[in-house]
């Protein structure tokens, strides 16, 4: 299920009912768009089962978990999240001077399938986390100036990302 929490003191909320019914179809379209024909990389790396790590390298709000997970579900790979760290909607501070990285998840499966989904899944996470981080920063700045409102939503105008 999809969980989000605005702070570590508040319990997470389940947003799974917000996912669109056509999510699999949309993700399949993204995967086809990324590799529209013969997958040379998949041929080279083979079918051996491997593991890849999802690392968070800079401070920000982690967002897009259900989309990332579904990409790899559709490719018959398994995603194992660090549920203490990979909290949808949570802000993570990473020390830039230490070159610190946080492992959010591991993905395991046939290496050609991991590579097939990697770029699409990372692009989705980058987009979702970027929008969430900018919204968080804007809202925090406005509150420091005395604004008492909420950031309720943002427009996603990138073609194909309306569902996100």
Query: Which has the closest alpha carbon to 101: 69, 49, 59, 52?
Result: 59
Residues ≥6 apart with Cβ < 8 Å to 110 = 46, 47, 48, 49, 50, 76, 77
Residues ≥6 apart with Cβ < 8 Å to 74 = 24, 27, 28, 31, 117
**Active-site residue flag, 156:** yes
pLDDT of 75 > 50? The answer is: yes
Do residues 47 and 105 lie in contact, with contact meaning Cβ atoms separated by under 8 Å? no
> Given 50, 57, 143, 156, which residue is catalytic?
156
pLDDT of 28 > 80? The answer is: yes
Q: What is the pLDDT of residues 81-109, one digit of tens each?
A: 999 999 999 999 887 766 788 999 999 99
pLDDT of 25 > 90? The answer is: yes
Q: What percent of the chain stands above pLDDT 90?
A: 52
Query: If you average pLDDT over residues 119-123, what whole number do you get?
Result: 94
1 three-state secondary structure: coil
Q: Which helix (H) or strand (E) holds 55?
A: strand 49-56
Residues ≥6 apart with Cβ < 8 Å to 37 = none
pTM above 0.95, yes or no: no
Q: Which residue has the tokens 């809202």?
A: 139
Residues ≥6 apart with Cβ < 8 Å to 26 = 20, 160, 163
Q: Using the Cα atoms of residue 72, residue 73, residue 78 and residue 84 in order, give the sign of their dihedral.
A: positive
Q: Residue 54 region, left (φ>0) first, then alpha (ψ -120 to 50), else beta? A: beta
């Amino acid at each position: 299920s999809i969980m989000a929490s605005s702070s570590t003191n508040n319990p997470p909320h389940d947003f799974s009912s917000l996912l669109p019914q056509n999510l699999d179809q949309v993700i399949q379209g993204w995967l086809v768009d990324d590799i529209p024909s013969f997958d040379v990389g998949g041929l080279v790396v083979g079918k051996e089962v491997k593991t890849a790590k999802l690392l968070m390298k800079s401070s920000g709000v982690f967002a897009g978990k259900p989309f990332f997970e579904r990409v790899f579900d559709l490719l018959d790979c398994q995603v194992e999240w660090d549920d203490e760290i990979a909290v949808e909607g949570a802000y993570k501070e990473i020390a830039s001077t230490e070159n610190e990285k946080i492992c959010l998840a591991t993905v395991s499966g046939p290496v050609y399938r991991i590579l097939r989904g990697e770029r699409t899944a990372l692009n989705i996470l980058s987009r979702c986390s970027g929008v969430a981080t900018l919204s968080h920063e804007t809202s925090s700045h406005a509150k420091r100036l005395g604004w008492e409102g909420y950031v309720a939503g943002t427009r996603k105008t990138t073609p194909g990302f309306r569902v996100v």
